[in-house]
Amino acid sequence: MSNPDTADSDGTSVPEYERVDVSVLVVGAGAAGARTAIELAERGVDDVLVLGKRNHGDAHTTWARGGINGALGTHDPDDSWAIHAADTLNEGHFVNEPQKVETVTRQMPDRLRELDDWGMDFSRTDDGEIDQRFFGAQSFRRTAFAGDHTGESMLETLVDRARELSVPYRENVLITKLLSDGDQCYGAVGFDMDSGEFVLVNAGTVVLAAGGYAAAYNRHTSRDDENNGDGPALAYDAGAELMDMEFVQFHPTGMAVDEDDPEWEPWSGRLVTEAVRGEGGHLYNTDGERFMERYSPDQMELDARDVVARAIAREIAEGRGTDNGGVSLDLSHRDRAFIRERLPRMYERFQELGVDMATEPVEVAPTAHYGMGGVAVDEHGETTVDGLFAIGETMAGVHGANRLGGNSLAETVAFGVVAGERIAERVDGAGHLPEAVVSDIAEPQFRDLATLAGRDGSHDVMDVFTELQDLLWEHAGILRTDASLRAGLDALDEVRRKAADMDVGPTTSSSFEFAIDIGFMLTAAEAVLRGALERTESRGAHYRTDETETDPDWQRNIYFERSDVGGMRTETRPVGTPSDAVQAALDEGHELDYHQLE
């Protein structure tokens, strides 16, 4: 259905737009969105539309390489969902929401078997079981994997399953605003990135599965055009709360490269999977020291990501880093055949760049990887706005102050099921889209988008984009202080001013897309800075050099809410209590002994 150009009562022209009516709109076509749609289809809800802003099957999920957690006990039968939950809470520094943690860990053995039944290409043990490897800070081998391309294999499996179920999908559509009056969500608006045409979706339920906000930093493991904060920013603008946005995970091992070399520069910050360390990789500084012996003599390279990232950052800051600002990650003590079998994508990537992982180390340095914060949701994934759900990296609550490797993919499929179940119980058609929502929210948004397209301005879009990324890295990176965070907020005002005066191309141009992304990133960046400033302690991935201790009184979550007066408002609330089973696992004190791997 298409709406031709019309005029408001004041004579203002409303651009033409396409209207679509569905029961459930899923924004984001990675693992979380795909698994939600599958659950809905399996429960008989066929009036669903999945929107992706990339080609089908090309979501950020494909970049998750190392594995997906679940207490199958393939190698370690003493493992259990409760110990998995205990490890998750421990490494989240106990600001995770315990119920959400338990939801994920209870489900994951079944979710892994389900993926296996659907044909996922898991690596196998000699007797044909799903293989599992060690990952940092986990007490047992519970990370199932498909070589070092787990996310890619998993998304292929989910997309194939969705196609079997005839789940409707539309690619290359970017949602720019949700249709919400602050109490109820009625759908969304955006534009087709191929044609430039505007789109309105009337939906009884909207699911945000649009990723996180790590690409708001200048060194990150995503592509520049994803994980820009779309999901959290859309939800915040719609009236939902955000939570714990200050907790940003800096993966210890992004690629450290010569950025003046055109062959290497595109790889700066890109992920060198934790599986390299899980399979026995050693970290060395330029003095030849295996320096994790100083920082974590028991768990070494397989300590939690925040610990290893800060250790590497310290080695570099104290002058023991490489010319490219990194340290060495060495797997050359492993056989070539082993590396090629267990880490095929990593081996091939570096081989193409002229580095042989079987005989020489690779250079790595910390890089922004994952936002533990996101949209605050209930136990079903629903926000405080009726009819609006958020799952996957878009939601908060599972990971606390530091995410375990392998838990991100786990969260996507676990909460995809949970949200799908809840929505299927309540689905009741596309619902009534109030005319006031169309005239007061949708059509002004279309006018704003039309005005933005082709706008003359003083600043280049990519210059503003890069300035914002640099700002977050400098002021809210691995090491934070009160002064740097306050300076960051001041600098953010200047970036916001420049963003209002950019030179933007037509709706089909990359500059138009990135101009939209900058708007999302400004919301995410402000929340990161404000949360990090308010949290006057160090906990997990949030490290304040002026507040280095963890404060028991700060075992609280920070919530962010849009206010009509004064902009972004924050408040804190205490965390919940683990179940008896999980508390018992915590009391047992399970812990990985790295040296059994040597």
Write down the catalytic residue from 54, 142, 161, 305.
305
3-state secondary structure of 233: helix
Whether 230 is in a domain gets the answer no
3-state secondary structure of 255: strand
* Arithmetic mean of pLDDT over the chain: 94
Q: Give 1-11 pLDDT, tens digit per residue.
A: 556 655 554 55
Question: What's the rounded mean pLDDT across residues 465-494?
Answer: 97
* Contact assessment for residue 515 and residue 346, using Cβ atoms and an 8 Å cutoff: no
Instruction: Please give the model's pTM, rounded to 2 decimal places.
Output: 0.94
Q: Is 573 among the catalytic positions?
A: no
DSSP state letter for 27: E
Whole-angstrom Cα distance, residue 172 to residue 190?
Answer: 11
Phi then psi dihedrals of residue 406, to 5 deg: 90, -10
pLDDT of residue 9: 46
Whether 498 is in a domain gets the answer yes
Whether 133 is in a domain gets the answer no
Whether 222 is in a domain gets the answer no
**In angstroms, what CA-CA distances link 296 with 136, 137, 331, 488, 539?**
12, 11, 19, 32, 17
Question: What's the rounded mean pLDDT across residues 471-479?
Answer: 96
Question: What's the rounded mean pLDDT across residues 529-540?
Answer: 98
Whole-angstrom Cα distance, residue 391 to residue 207?
Answer: 7
Whether 417 is in a domain gets the answer no
Exposed/middle/buried for residue 589 (C-beta within 10 Å: 0-12, 13-18, 19+): exposed
Whole-angstrom Cα distance, residue 270 to residue 221?
Answer: 4
Q: Are residues 349 and 270 in the same domain?
A: yes
pLDDT of residue 563: 87
In the numeric block, which tokens belong to residue 585?
């696992």
Res. 135 pLDDT band, cuts 50 70 90: confident
* pLDDT tops 60 at residue 105: yes
Whether 330 is in a domain gets the answer yes
pLDDT of residue 58: 83
pLDDT of residue 2: 58
Listed in sequence order, the DSSP H helices in 453-481 are 461-475
- Residue 288: which domain range? 251-368
Q: Give 250-280 pLDDT, tens digit per residue.
A: 999 999 999 999 999 999 999 999 889 989 9
* Contact assessment for residue 411 and residue 104, using Cβ atoms and an 8 Å cutoff: yes
* pLDDT tops 80 at residue 457: yes
Q: Are residues 449 and 546 in the same domain?
A: yes
Q: Are residues 350 and 444 in the same domain?
A: no
Q: Give 301-359 pLDDT, tens digit per residue.
A: 999 888 999 999 999 999 999 999 999 999 999 999 999 999 999 999 999 999 999 99
* Contact assessment for residue 365 and residue 373, using Cβ atoms and an 8 Å cutoff: no
Residue 296's CATH number? 3.90.700.10
What's the structural domain count of the chain? 2
Domain boundary among 521, 537, 552: 552
Q: Which residues pair with 367 in a beta bridge?
A: 251
Q: Residue 446 region, left (φ>0) first, then alpha (ψ -120 to 50), else beta?
A: alpha
Within 244-331, strands assigned E span 248-255, 282-284, 327-330
Q: Which residues pair with 550 in a beta bridge?
A: none
Q: Give 49-86 pLDDT, tens digit per residue.
A: 999 998 888 888 877 888 999 999 999 999 999 999 99
pLDDT of residue 424: 98
**In angstroms, what CA-CA distances link 510 with 16, 271, 352, 504?**
22, 24, 29, 9
Q: Determine what percent of the chain is predicted with pLDDT higher than 90.
A: 89
Exposed/middle/buried for residue 259 (C-beta within 10 Å: 0-12, 13-18, 19+): middle
In the numeric block, which tokens belong to residue 198?
């505007």
Q: Are residues 445 and 363 in the same domain?
A: no
Residue 526's CATH number? 1.20.58.100
Domain boundary among 322, 345, 368: 368
Whole-angstrom Cα distance, residue 258 to residue 260?
Answer: 5
Domain boundary among 309, 344, 368: 368
Whether 142 is in a domain gets the answer no
Whether 196 is in a domain gets the answer no
* Contact assessment for residue 321 and residue 285, using Cβ atoms and an 8 Å cutoff: yes
